[in-house]
Structure 1
Amino acid sequence: MTRSPVAAVAGALGFLSRVPVAHSDARWDAFRRTPAAIPTAGYPIGALLALPIAAVALAPGGIGAAVPTETVAVVFVAWLYALTGITHLDGVADLGDAAVVHGDADRRREVLKDSSLGVGGALALALVVLGLAAAAALVADLARFAPIAAVALVIGTEVAAKAATATLVCVGEAPHEGLGSALTAESGPRSLLGVGIVAAPVALVGWPALAPGIAVLVAAALVAAAALWWARSRLGGVSGDVLGATNEIARVVGLHVGVIAWTLS
């Protein structure tokens, strides 16, 4: 079947966000066969995610300065999940429960299928959401004196997080049929080239300083490597939950690392 880049990106937007794009089997098929569409969709999604940061930083008449950083952080988190949905957070919760259970890979995969939330899942969710809110506060503070850098960091981190997810799609194998196998079965390591090309501009998010963008990319790569190792050793492969959790964790880590690198550069 012919792969249409436009259809693949539209399919990625429809799957990874609540952006109102028309859904179709052709777009879904193009998306799952094109891992590079995942980080490509990160650019428009990241631009939309950055709107609360940009609004506060660029508000006229000092309105932005009057909005507390903590308020911006809460709005950012709420806006993010209104835009992207909570499907990936469900992956975080499921992996948190699977991480603390005793047993082999089969037992952990059983826990992944259990819809009830355990202590491990609750802790994982709390860490990710609190980490995201803290990162949003850092970005909001950055935006007060460097709005372009702050917006670029949000966009670049979203792209890098999705590149981490796409990397697992390219090199991972699913342990069972499901969303993970629908994506990983259609691609291989050769598709990493396209993912890398799409994600490469992230290195310029702190221009003229290169440290922030490179730090964000390195952080995403490390999260992907850790997720791949854990999934293979604990679950027997990369599932849909692993892909979703990788996106969420890479976003949080990338925002923190990016702000730190920008501050030090």
Structure 2
Amino acid sequence: MIGRSLGAIRGGLGFLTRLPVPFRDGDWDALRTTPAAFPVVGYVAGGLAALPLLAIDSLPEPTVAFAYLLAVYAVTGIHHLDGVADLGDALVVHGDVERRREVLKDTTTGVGAILAIAVVVAGLALAGLSLASLAAVTAVGVAVAAEVGAKLGMAAMACFGRASYEGMGRQFTEGASPASLVAPAVLALPAAVLTWPHPAAAVALVAAVAGIGLPWVWANHHLGGINGDIFGAANEIGRVVGVHAGVIAWTLF
């Protein structure tokens, strides 16, 4: 059991980040059947990406924000942005479900893809600028909570989602069940108290999960279900929504 869990975490780090974690035989199968690995990866990736925020008291806010943006993509890679691009093209295309699925598979980059990536990257950059206005410890707590929330949302998609066709998305949805969400939810709970007693981290965690619901619901209605591109896009959108919501919560409460 422990060996399979470690294999799932290795698989998650190898699949969801750019960290030099070597895959072993069985790690992929362990990951797709162990949704609990997702929030664990969120803690690792979120913590590493948040390191530039520790320089808030030493560097200008725009510099810290830019460093945070670079750190996020240095740690997590840009392959999930491909899902954002494909989702953007599918959003703007005219046609039925089959036509939108064709666009998702098309390697041509359209204006919808460019706009979608621009909005997500700009959203994350502005979120980083908002984080840079907070105390360092608070900013790190919100950033980590948002990352964990995004990964918890991915776990929820795996446990409750319906795949639109054969592919990576179906491998996750067939490897998990609704009951499988209990473990990742429990593992994600500590992220909610990273700014205790202030609820900013809890809001970031919940908002990131809710943010993932946006492409998920759209895919169910317009694609007949989710796929690998939706998983990737949801991860990026969930992070942006989570960070912004956490900062707003800190400002208002």
| TM-score between the two structures when normalised by the length of structure 2 | 0.95
- 1:179-218 alignment, distance < 5 Å: 179-209=168-198, 211-218=199-206
Where structure 1 has 5 or more consecutive residues not aligned to the other structure, the ranges are 59-63
Q: Report if the CA contact (8 A) 1:135-1:256 is conserved.
A: yes
Contact 1:3 1:33 in 2 (8 A): no
| Aligned residues with identical type, % of pairs | 49
- The yes-or-no answer on 1:178 pairing with 2:177 is no
Q: Which residue in 2 is equivalent to 1:68?
A: 60
> Which letter maps to 2:45?
I
| Alpha carbons of structure 1 residues 236 and 106: separation in structure 2 relative to 1, 3 Å | same
Preserved contact between residue 89 and residue 125 of structure 1 (Cα < 8 Å): yes
2:138 aligned partner: 149
1:2 CA displacement: 9.1
Corresponding residue for residue 123 of structure 1 = 115
- For 1:262, the equivalent position in structure 2 comes to 250
CA distance in 1 between counterparts of 2:65 and 2:201 reads 22
Determine the C-alpha separation between the residues in 1 that align with 2:165 and 2:27: 24
Question: Alpha-carbon deviation of 1:84?
Answer: 1.1
Q: 2:93 aligns with which of 90, 96, 101?
A: 101
Which residue in the other structure is 1:162 paired with? 151
Q: Quote how far apart the aligned CAs of 1:20 are.
A: 1.0
Structure 2 residue 46 is matched with structure 1 residue 57: no
Aligned residues, how many? 253
Q: Check the 8 A contact 2:56/2:64 in 1, yes or no.
A: no
Query: Shift of the alpha carbon at 1:3?
Result: 6.8
Q: Which amino acid aligns with 2:63?
A: T
Deviates more, 1:199-208 or 1:87-96: 199-208
Contact residue 8 and residue 28 of structure 1 kept, 8 A = yes
Determine the structure 2 residue equivalent to 1:61: none
- Paired residues of 1:94 and 1:121 also in contact (CA < 8 A): yes
Alignment pair present for 1:113 and 2:109: no
Runs of 4+ in 1 over 4 A off after TM superposition: none
d(CA) in 1 for partners of 2:156, 2:26: 23
Q: Counterpart of 1:21? A: 21
Corresponding residue to 2:230 among 238, 242, 247: 242
Give, as a single letter, the amino acid of the residue that structure 1 aligns with 2:206.
Answer: V
Question: What's the counterpart of residue 37 of structure 2?
Answer: 37
* Aligned equivalents of 2:68, 2:205: Cα separation in 1: 22
TM-score of the pair, normalised by structure 1:
0.91
Give 3-state SS (helix, strand or coil) of 1:103's partner. Answer: coil
Deviation sequence 1:91-128 (CA, Å, 0-9, x none): 00100000110111111010011111111111110110
Structure 2 gaps, min length 5 = none
Q: What RMSD in Å do the two structures reach over aligned CA positions?
A: 1.6
Matched letter for residue 223 of structure 1: G
Q: Which amino acid aligns with 1:126?
A: A
Could you list the per-position Cα deviations for residues 63-110 of structure 1 after superposition, in whole angstroms to 9, with x for gaps in the alignment?
A: x1xx32222222221221122111110000100000110111111010
